[in-house]
Chains A and B, each alone.
Chain A
Amino acid sequence: MSHWIELNIGPVHPSTHGIYRFRVKLNEETVEDVDITIGYLHRNAEKICELNYFVNNTIYFDRMDYIDAMNMELGYLRAVEALTDMEVPERAQWIRMIMAELSRIAARMVGIGALGLDVGMLTPFFHTFHEREKIQRIFVEASGGRQEVNYMSIGGVYQDFNDKIIEEIREFISEFKGKLEEIVKMFTDSEIFWQRNVGTGILEPDIALDYGVTGPMLRASGIPYDVRKDSPYLFYDKVNFDVPIARTKDNMGRFLVKVEELRQSIRIIEQCLAKLPDGPYFNPKTKKSAMLLLKGQGDVFTRVESESGEFGVFIRGDGGVKPYRVHARSPSFKNLAVVPIMTRGSLIADLIITIASVDAVAGEVDR
């Protein structure tokens, strides 16, 4: 019996985590097919980047994943630095690492909180946002920006860490350790949360590889791929951390992997703080005022591990002061593409949780 109704989830549905639309064919409550429509947020970031000088483009990358802005700009700056052979002083690299991990924690807080919201728990959402707010205060202290921070710059960071910021980060980390366990307990102590997550949204590892899925989704399918480990950038090879995987391949596995990664991020930040050297925070050979004259030629492609997976940036320079082409390989775009396969035949309630556990950010999908 073909007795289906078509339900439009999005673009303004509360659970689409941004602006995209799922056209769902429903047989009663069972999902028969999902069609994802994107493009409601097209901001043309890649094209605009080609009109700007290299130094102007950081903000457009901030706005791609507005939740994990630090990792986004790090991705772009690494590509520019590779293109222009710019060296980054050691202190700046450690500072970047601390900021990238803080940003990862902040983004995870949104992801986990929103997952709770989609399961129907309002309470953890506020607790996770409370923690995110503390990180954002650190960002404000360091850069002046709260969400789109624009903190890192070509050849270093815009401002040095002062003692106050370091003290704030130490304080945050020591508080957050306990707080994280409390938040995780709010989820894992709930029998219903387990019931909703275990066995739903199953993603087989071979499908994940075919679709180019990365990040916690891939690791929850049992493949321990992490850019920080497999092709280390900054000083990720000088700190100890583990890459957690889950073999359950379901939403609960994804949640547990994300939580374990938060613990690893705390470990990384602690080691970074211990190893933070003195020295310049900006490439001393370059003047900030001369940034507009920066030139680059050739093709580069660099990768960083953002909150939702591998974030790659391709830049082609034609020797001029502006990039000829900028392209971002954004993780959310690839991760979202696999949702129809994960949810075909499941209940609509599972579809919502699967979307939440994919944790795609619309700015990154429609760049």
Chain B
Amino acid sequence: MRYYLRKLGFFVLTLWAVVTINFLIPRVQPGDPAEIMVQRLAGKNAQLDQAQVQAMRDLLGTPTGSLGSQYVQYLGQLLRGDLGLSYNYYPFEVTRVIGQAFWWTVVLVTVVQVLSFVVGILLGAFAAWKRNGRFDTTVTLVSTFLGTLQPFWIALLLIYGLGYSLGWFATSGGYEQSTPGFNGAFLYDAVSHAFLPALTLMIVTPIGWILGMRNTMIMNLSEDYIKLAKAKGLPDRVVALRYAARNALLPSVTGFALALGGVLGGTILVETVFDYPGLGRLMGEAVGLKDYPLLQALMLLTAVATLVANLVADLLYGVLDPRVRRSQA
């Protein structure tokens, strides 16, 4: 029980820290968003009209008062799920803008992560079982090399090769002709647009699983229970999968939850390059247009998603592996 309480306590404290950091970032930086907006509308060299700036502040709902009262106000808004109005999509609320992009990223990333996990675990387990063989050497070398490539660069190369030169796949956007909805035409359209972003991520994401699984599995293979299983005359397949791989999988379970939580971080650049209508591109857009409320909300969403995934992974790990619970309690 103490294990779970500790993890829950850490979650709450970290959540508070993240929210506070998110509150402080715009406030420690110089520059007033309202002034920047007015400046942009008026042109670079125009005189700043204070009345206009004040009007803009009212329009944007820029908070006033001392830092302390702003903080209280900010926390209150967060609790009500009010993340402010987007500058770029004014007068829409940030939450609404995010809601439209949310599913694009979630579906793309979930599919990629599940596939990567399965592929990575299988390749890693097999490489460890055939340690130092030709298969193992190839997999390890190729993974190490691919791991040093920048995903956005892979994306550009795929756009060039499979998109423009061969013309096999759509290279930007999420759909083209069809209307969004649950119908065959749209699904086909969406899948063909999602193919290249998914392929880009599929080149990079399994690598961590492959190398991680290979290492844990190699460690497990030298344990006594494996020797016992082999001595009992169990078939190789059973020893490899039911004994070694099953135990080596444990650390990967938590890693998987974390990967799902870190969804946004990994896709920002890829989505931007492909102009894919998800959260990552939204963040790239918010950066370019200085849409601060949207940017902050996305940052907060990513952090909270990661924290929740972390908590779930920790709790799950405690259930799956009682040793962890005991040693940390």
Q: Do A and B come from one complex?
A: no
Interface residues of B (CB under 8 A from A): none
